[in-house]
Amino acid sequence: MSDVTRDPAPAPAKDAARPKVSVRGLTIRYGDAVALDDVSLDIHEHEIFGIIGPSNSGKTSFLRAINRMDAFTDGMVVEGRVLFDGHDVRTWRNLYSLRRRIGVVFPLPVGLPLTVYENVAFAPRLAGVRKKADLDVIVERCLRRAALWDEVKDRLDALGSLLSGGQQQRLTIARALSQEPDLLLLDEFSIAVDPVTTMRIEAVLAELKKEITIVLVTNLVQQARRLADRTAFFLMGECVEVGPTEQLFSDDVQDPRTRAYVEGRFG
Ligand SMILES: Nc1ncnc2c1ncn2[C@@H]1O[C@H](COP(=O)(O)OP(=O)(O)OP(=O)(O)O)[C@@H](O)[C@H]1O
Ligand SMILES: [Mg+2]
């Protein structure tokens, strides 16, 4: 049998007490340089978990460890444990089956050189969906969930690269959703998106969290404040503080460095 059968089941029983992602003693190195140092935290099911922090804090590296990008990144060494639905991501034999369950959206839209339709139909086809009618349903549903359907429904056969930057980023989100992930990792998705589109995507994310769990890495502390249920503050590879988002913005903030950062006094 294929390796897939030995990987954890795609739809594990829900366990309210178990975190969606549990990170313990996570240390990430590139060669001799430490990018993340002994980070432990939990990400709960159906929350938006924000990660804020200045450049070079290890935010992107943290996301890479969750979906095992270290397997494809030269020199990247991961220590500690990342449990996804209770299973160590390093025990997945078939990384494709892990990554089907974890959608990723990068800072800049990364479109496939395909039509709008085919960008979204690509993953379902790979997963074995053959019938055009079934693909049509998936494509429409994903484009609607990414708040893009109305703008592209008459140009599904146009190249994705001909859409505006903000539309391409929503197409990237639609594509990430097309594999029916139960965890979505967003890395500064709004860096190349205008403020109006950013707000539209934020509304999409607030809706999506009813269905899936979202990790939102953002340079914009106010974006974390608007969206995230809980937030971690990373600084130069250290997880300085993690708690309910409002705590980081209140007098209950635990660490003076967090306060300084959210008040815009550095970074
Ligand atoms: N592929 C790589 N090879 C070598 N070093 C890397 C690699 N990727 C990241 N690093 C280093 O790891 C450290 C943390 O980088 P990371 O991209 O995780 O930070 P970040 O918080 O996402 O920063 P930014 O806000 O600028 O995106 C940096 O010093 C960076 O140079
Ligand atoms: Mg980054």
Domain membership flag for residue 115: no
Question: Residue with the nearest Cα to atom 7 of ligand 1?
Answer: 30
Distance CA 252, CA 267 (A): 21
pTM of the predicted model as reported, rounded to 2 decimal places: 0.92
Domain membership flag for residue 172: no
pLDDT exceeds cutoff 50 at 106:
yes
Ligand whose nearest atom lies closest to the CA of 55: 1
Q: Is the CB of residue 64 below 6 angstroms from any atom belonging to ligand 1?
A: no
Domain membership flag for residue 191: no
Task: Check the CA dihedral 123-124-129-135 and report its sign.
Answer: negative
Distance CA 157, CA 153 (A): 9
Question: Residue with the nearest Cα to atom 18 of ligand 1?
Answer: 58
Residue 3: which pLDDT band, with cuts at 50, 70 and 90?
A: very low
| Amino acid 236: pLDDT | 97
Domain membership flag for residue 53: yes
- Mean per-residue pLDDT for 194-203? 89
pLDDT exceeds cutoff 70 at 115:
yes
Residue 2: which pLDDT band, with cuts at 50, 70 and 90?
A: very low
Q: Is the CB of residue 106 below 6 angstroms from any atom belonging to ligand 1?
A: no
Residue type, 203: A
Give the ligand 1 atom nearest the CA of 60: 22
Q: Is the CB of residue 218 below 6 angstroms from any atom belonging to ligand 1?
A: no
Return the axis-axis angle of helices 165-178 and 116-126, rounded to nearest 10°: 20
pLDDT digits (tens, 9 = 90+) for 241-258: 999 999 999 999 999 999
Q: Is the CB of residue 60 below 6 angstroms from any atom belonging to ligand 1?
A: yes
How much distance in Å is there from the Cα of 237 to the middle of ligand 2? 12
Average pLDDT, the chain: 91
Residues of the chain with pLDDT > 70, as a percent, come to: 94
| Amino acid 13: pLDDT | 54
| Amino acid 1: pLDDT | 42
Domain membership flag for residue 247: yes
Domain membership flag for residue 95: yes
Distance CA 247, CA 251 (A): 7
Q: Is the CB of residue 30 below 6 angstroms from any atom belonging to ligand 1?
A: yes
pLDDT digits (tens, 9 = 90+) for 234-244: 999 999 999 99
| Amino acid 165: pLDDT | 85
Local structure of residue 86 (DSSP, 8 states): T
Question: Residue with the nearest Cα to atom 25 of ligand 1?
Answer: 55
pLDDT digits (tens, 9 = 90+) for 6-15: 677 655 556 6
pLDDT exceeds cutoff 60 at 5:
no
pLDDT digits (tens, 9 = 90+) for 46-86: 999 999 999 999 999 999 999 999 999 999 999 999 999 99
Domain encompassing residue 36: 17-101+228-267
| Amino acid 110: pLDDT | 72
What are the beta bridge partners of residue 81? 24
What are the beta bridge partners of residue 232? 51, 242
Residues of the chain with pLDDT > 90, as a percent, come to: 77
- Mean per-residue pLDDT for 206-224? 95
| Amino acid 212: pLDDT | 95
pLDDT exceeds cutoff 90 at 120:
yes
β-strand 87-88 against 33-43: which pairing, if any? unpaired
| Amino acid 9: pLDDT | 63
Residue 267: which pLDDT band, with cuts at 50, 70 and 90?
A: low
Q: How many CB atoms lie within 10 A of CB 236?
A: 16
Distance CA 70, CA 232 (A): 22
Domain membership flag for residue 7: no
How much distance in Å is there from the Cα of 128 to the middle of ligand 1? 36
The two tokens of residue 173 are: 């989100």
Number of domains within the chain: 1
How much distance in Å is there from the Cα of 141 to the middle of ligand 2? 30
Domain membership flag for residue 153: no
Q: How far is CA 52 from CA 162, 192, 206, in A?
A: 32, 18, 18
Ligand whose nearest atom lies closest to the CA of 56: 1
Q: How many CB atoms lie within 10 A of CB 32?
A: 6
Q: Any idea what the CATH number is for the domain that residue 30 is in?
A: 3.40.50.300
